[in-house]
Amino acid sequence: MSHDRWKSADREEAYRQLDHPADIFFEARGGNLAELFEHALLALYDQIAELDGFDGIGEATIAVEAASREDALRELLAQALFKFESEGFVATEGDVLVREASDEMGHDDCRTEQSSPGSVSVLARLWGETADRTRHSLLAEVKAVTYHRLSVTCLQDQGWRSTVILDV
Protein backbone atom coordinates (compact mmCIF):
# COMPACT_ATOMS: atom_id res chain seq x y z
CA MET A 1 0.00 0.00 0.00
CA SER A 2 1.28 3.44 -0.90
CA HIS A 3 0.92 6.17 1.75
CA ASP A 4 0.14 9.31 -0.25
CA ARG A 5 -2.30 11.32 1.86
CA TRP A 6 -0.35 14.59 1.45
CA LYS A 7 -0.68 14.50 -2.34
CA SER A 8 -4.38 15.31 -2.05
CA ALA A 9 -4.22 17.33 1.19
CA ASP A 10 -6.07 20.64 1.28
CA ARG A 11 -3.16 23.10 1.17
CA GLU A 12 -5.31 26.10 1.99
CA GLU A 13 -6.32 24.52 5.26
CA ALA A 14 -2.78 23.34 6.09
CA TYR A 15 -0.62 26.39 5.42
CA ARG A 16 -0.19 29.58 3.43
CA GLN A 17 2.78 31.57 2.26
CA LEU A 18 3.29 35.03 3.69
CA ASP A 19 5.13 37.93 2.17
CA HIS A 20 8.54 38.72 3.58
CA PRO A 21 11.77 39.96 2.00
CA ALA A 22 13.33 36.69 3.16
CA ASP A 23 13.14 33.59 1.12
CA ILE A 24 10.17 31.36 2.03
CA PHE A 25 7.91 32.41 4.89
CA PHE A 26 4.93 30.23 5.72
CA GLU A 27 2.22 30.03 8.31
CA ALA A 28 0.89 26.58 9.19
CA ARG A 29 -2.34 25.86 11.08
CA GLY A 30 -3.53 22.83 13.01
CA GLY A 31 -6.35 21.78 15.32
CA ASN A 32 -3.76 20.40 17.71
CA LEU A 33 0.02 20.48 17.95
CA ALA A 34 0.46 17.16 16.13
CA GLU A 35 -1.60 18.38 13.18
CA LEU A 36 0.24 21.71 13.20
CA PHE A 37 3.61 19.97 12.97
CA GLU A 38 2.33 17.66 10.23
CA HIS A 39 1.15 20.65 8.19
CA ALA A 40 4.50 22.38 8.64
CA LEU A 41 6.23 19.25 7.31
CA LEU A 42 3.89 19.28 4.32
CA ALA A 43 4.74 22.96 3.69
CA LEU A 44 8.46 22.10 3.76
CA TYR A 45 8.15 19.17 1.34
CA ASP A 46 5.99 21.28 -1.01
CA GLN A 47 8.91 23.70 -1.32
CA ILE A 48 11.39 20.92 -2.05
CA ALA A 49 9.49 18.84 -4.63
CA GLU A 50 6.30 18.25 -6.61
CA LEU A 51 4.83 15.57 -4.35
CA ASP A 52 2.56 14.27 -7.13
CA GLY A 53 5.43 12.37 -8.74
CA PHE A 54 6.39 10.52 -5.54
CA ASP A 55 4.96 7.38 -3.97
CA GLY A 56 4.79 6.58 -0.29
CA ILE A 57 6.56 3.26 -0.57
CA GLY A 58 9.45 3.82 1.85
CA GLU A 59 9.45 4.76 5.48
CA ALA A 60 11.45 7.02 7.76
CA THR A 61 11.22 8.11 11.37
CA ILE A 62 12.31 11.33 13.01
CA ALA A 63 12.49 11.71 16.77
CA VAL A 64 13.06 15.10 18.39
CA GLU A 65 13.50 16.28 21.98
CA ALA A 66 13.53 20.00 22.63
CA ALA A 67 13.09 22.56 25.38
CA SER A 68 10.31 24.49 23.64
CA ARG A 69 7.60 23.98 21.00
CA GLU A 70 9.42 26.34 18.64
CA ASP A 71 12.67 24.45 18.96
CA ALA A 72 10.86 21.13 18.55
CA LEU A 73 9.21 22.30 15.33
CA ARG A 74 12.42 23.76 13.92
CA GLU A 75 14.41 20.63 14.76
CA LEU A 76 11.73 18.38 13.22
CA LEU A 77 11.85 20.37 9.96
CA ALA A 78 15.67 20.58 10.03
CA GLN A 79 15.89 16.80 10.39
CA ALA A 80 13.42 16.27 7.54
CA LEU A 81 15.55 18.60 5.40
CA PHE A 82 18.68 16.67 6.40
CA LYS A 83 17.03 13.39 5.33
CA PHE A 84 16.32 14.92 1.95
CA GLU A 85 19.81 16.37 1.57
CA SER A 86 21.65 13.23 2.66
CA GLU A 87 19.38 10.45 1.39
CA GLY A 88 17.02 12.22 -1.03
CA PHE A 89 13.99 11.18 1.04
CA VAL A 90 10.77 13.06 0.16
CA ALA A 91 7.63 12.29 2.20
CA THR A 92 4.10 12.02 0.83
CA GLU A 93 2.45 11.24 4.16
CA GLY A 94 3.26 11.61 7.81
CA ASP A 95 1.90 10.89 11.24
CA VAL A 96 3.17 13.04 14.06
CA LEU A 97 2.98 12.47 17.79
CA VAL A 98 3.77 15.33 20.17
CA ARG A 99 4.22 14.85 23.86
CA GLU A 100 4.91 17.58 26.36
CA ALA A 101 6.14 17.19 29.92
CA SER A 102 3.12 19.18 31.02
CA ASP A 103 0.76 16.62 29.40
CA GLU A 104 0.94 14.67 32.62
CA MET A 105 -0.66 17.62 34.34
CA GLY A 106 -3.73 17.32 32.18
CA HIS A 107 -2.57 19.57 29.38
CA ASP A 108 -4.26 18.44 26.24
CA ASP A 109 -5.18 21.17 23.85
CA CYS A 110 -4.83 24.82 23.07
CA ARG A 111 -7.52 25.96 25.51
CA THR A 112 -5.58 24.71 28.52
CA GLU A 113 -2.20 25.81 27.20
CA GLN A 114 0.56 25.98 29.77
CA SER A 115 2.85 28.98 29.53
CA SER A 116 5.81 26.63 29.46
CA PRO A 117 5.36 23.11 28.15
CA GLY A 118 8.52 21.76 29.78
CA SER A 119 10.35 19.46 27.41
CA VAL A 120 8.67 18.59 24.13
CA SER A 121 9.17 15.28 22.35
CA VAL A 122 8.08 14.67 18.79
CA LEU A 123 7.93 11.41 16.91
CA ALA A 124 7.20 11.64 13.19
CA ARG A 125 6.57 8.59 11.10
CA LEU A 126 6.99 9.46 7.43
CA TRP A 127 6.22 7.57 4.23
CA GLY A 128 7.79 8.56 0.94
CA GLU A 129 10.39 7.84 -1.66
CA THR A 130 14.00 8.62 -2.59
CA ALA A 131 14.15 11.45 -5.14
CA ASP A 132 15.38 10.59 -8.62
CA ARG A 133 16.21 13.67 -10.72
CA THR A 134 15.41 11.82 -13.95
CA ARG A 135 11.74 11.29 -13.05
CA HIS A 136 10.91 13.61 -10.15
CA SER A 137 10.46 17.35 -10.22
CA LEU A 138 12.58 19.08 -7.57
CA LEU A 139 11.80 22.70 -6.88
CA ALA A 140 14.00 24.65 -4.48
CA GLU A 141 17.24 24.01 -2.67
CA VAL A 142 16.35 24.75 0.93
CA LYS A 143 19.51 25.64 2.82
CA ALA A 144 18.12 25.75 6.33
CA VAL A 145 15.16 26.16 8.65
CA THR A 146 15.89 29.47 10.36
CA TYR A 147 15.01 30.89 13.79
CA HIS A 148 13.84 34.17 12.31
CA ARG A 149 10.16 34.82 13.19
CA LEU A 150 9.90 31.21 14.32
CA SER A 151 6.73 30.90 16.37
CA VAL A 152 4.20 28.39 17.68
CA THR A 153 1.12 30.02 19.18
CA CYS A 154 -2.20 28.91 20.54
CA LEU A 155 -5.25 30.59 19.04
CA GLN A 156 -7.65 29.35 21.74
CA ASP A 157 -10.75 28.03 19.96
CA GLN A 158 -9.08 28.15 16.57
CA GLY A 159 -6.28 25.71 17.28
CA TRP A 160 -2.59 26.35 16.69
CA ARG A 161 -0.55 28.53 14.37
CA SER A 162 3.13 28.53 13.54
CA THR A 163 5.38 30.67 11.38
CA VAL A 164 8.61 29.44 9.80
CA ILE A 165 11.16 31.00 7.44
CA LEU A 166 13.25 28.78 5.19
CA ASP A 167 16.52 30.00 3.74
CA VAL A 168 16.79 29.09 0.06
Partner 1 sequence: MSDLRQLEDWLWELPRTGGMRVPGRIYADADLAKALIGDESLGQVANVATLPGILCCSLAMPDIHFGYGFPIGGVAAFSKADGVVSPGGVGYDINCGCRLLATDLHKDDLKGNLKTVIDQLFRDVPAGVGASGAIKKLSREDLRQLLAKGSEWAVARGYGSKGDLERTEDGGRMVTADPSAVSEKAYLRGQDQVGTLGSGNHFLEVQTVDHIYDREAAEAYQLFPGQITLMIHCGSRGLGYQVCDDYLVIMAAAAHKYGITLPDRQLACAPIESPEGRRYLSAMACAANYAWANRQMIMHLTEQALLHALHISPKELNLRLVYDVAHNIAKLEHHEDEGAMVEVCVHRKGATRAFGPGRPEVPQLYRQVGQPVLIPGDMGTASFVCKGTEEAMRQTFGSTCHGAGRVMSRSQALKRAKGRSIDEELADRGIIVRSQGRKTLAEEMPEAYKDVERVVGVMDAARVSPRVARLKPLGVVKG
Q: Least Å distance between CB 26 and partner 1?
A: 10
By C-beta, is 147 or 158 nearer to partner 1?
A: 147
Per-residue burial over 47-76, b = 16 or more CB atoms within 10 Å of its CB, e = otherwise:
bbbebebbebebebebebebeebbbbbbbb
135 is a site residue for partner 1 (CB under 8 A): no
Closer Cβ to partner 1, 32 or 146, answer by number: 146
Site for partner 1 in 89-128 (CB under 8 A): none
Window contacting partner 1 (CB under 8 A); options: 12-20, 37-45, 105-113, 118-126: 12-20
Q: Considering only the stretches 29-37, 53-61, 117-125, 129-137, report the one whose residues sit in contact with partner 1 under the rule CB under 8 A.
A: 129-137
Q: Is 20 in the site for partner 1 (CB under 8 A)?
A: yes
Cα separation, 73 vs 145, in Å, equals 10
Which 21-80 residues touch partner 1, going by CB under 8 A? 21-24, 48, 78
Which residues sit at the interface with partner 1, rule CB under 8 A?
Answer: 17, 19-24, 48, 78, 82, 85-86, 88, 131, 133, 137-141, 143-148, 150, 165, 167-168
